[in-house]
Chains A and B, each alone.
Chain A
Amino acid sequence: RKEVEQDPGPFNVPEGATVAFNCTYSNSASQSFFWYRQDCRKEPKLLMSVYSSGNEDGRFTAQLNRASQYISLLIRDSKLSDSATYLCVGLVRGGSYIPTFGRGTSLIVHP
């Protein structure tokens, strides 16, 4: 079982919609969490870190639920340019701290 699990989608939404992805993690010692974005045939790039108190960056909001062991990413007012694959990462306290990725969730925003 992978340390992080994601629904691969695709999530197909119209422009302007709000969409949310979840990512569950199996190791309760996981300490740090991140969301990455990957465009087709490109390298992944950091989208945002996920803090215990949650954090917001413009239209993007990330939340951490330690009790249920999942993180979430909410995208408001979706744009065509948001179409991409979104990858979650968890790092384990006392582990290697090498990022281990979920399989990614594909988002397609259509006109």
Chain B
Amino acid sequence: NAGVTQTPKFQVLKTGQSMTLQCAQDMNHEYMSWYRQDPGMGLRLIHYSVGAGITDQGEVPNGYNVSRSTTEDFPLRLLSAAPSQTSVYFCASSYGTRGEAFFGQGTRLTVV
């Protein structure tokens, strides 16, 4: 019972590099979302998707891209990493109107 799987768990990038954080879920959830968590800031929504082919911006979308070609996968792309993107990133999927979200284990990203 995998649930939500995020890779990698840890990553160090140099300023200006790009990378993709992977997220996959096996619960057939329509809703998926990406959050970043910084000390004292709580979970802030970056991008979300309410179904394959449908994405929208959250609270802090700048510097990130997403796509949703399948129900299972929702990758997050950092276009040109900046030190301000050093954070812990969580992917989540949910039942939609029921709202119970299930999270991946997180990716700890450091940009130097």
| A interface residue numbers (CB < 8 A to B) | 2, 8, 32, 34, 36, 41-46, 49, 87, 89, 91, 96-104
Contacts and interface: CB of A to CB of B under 8 A. Distances in A.
A44 B105 CA distance: 9
A8 B88 CA distance: 19
Nearest to B95: A97
B33 A99 contact: yes
A87 B48 contact: no
A98 B33 contact: yes
B31 to A, nearest CB: 6
B40 interface: yes
Given A101-B43, A104-B42, A96 B103 contact: no
A103 B101 contact: no
Contacts of A100: 45
A96 B47 CA distance: 12
Grouping DSSP codes into helix (H, G, I), strand (E, B) and loop, the B interface class, with mixed when no group exceeds half, is strand
B99 A32 contact: yes
Nearest to A4: B42
B90 interface: yes
B58 A97 contact: no
Grouping DSSP codes into helix (H, G, I), strand (E, B) and loop, the A interface class, with mixed when no group exceeds half, is loop
Given A101-B42, A102-B42, A103-B40, A46 B101 contact: yes
Nearest to B94: A99
Given A32-B99, A43-B90, A89-B99, A103 B31 contact: no
Interface in B87-112: 88, 90, 92, 94, 96-106
Contacts of A43: 90, 103-106
A38 to B, nearest CB: 9
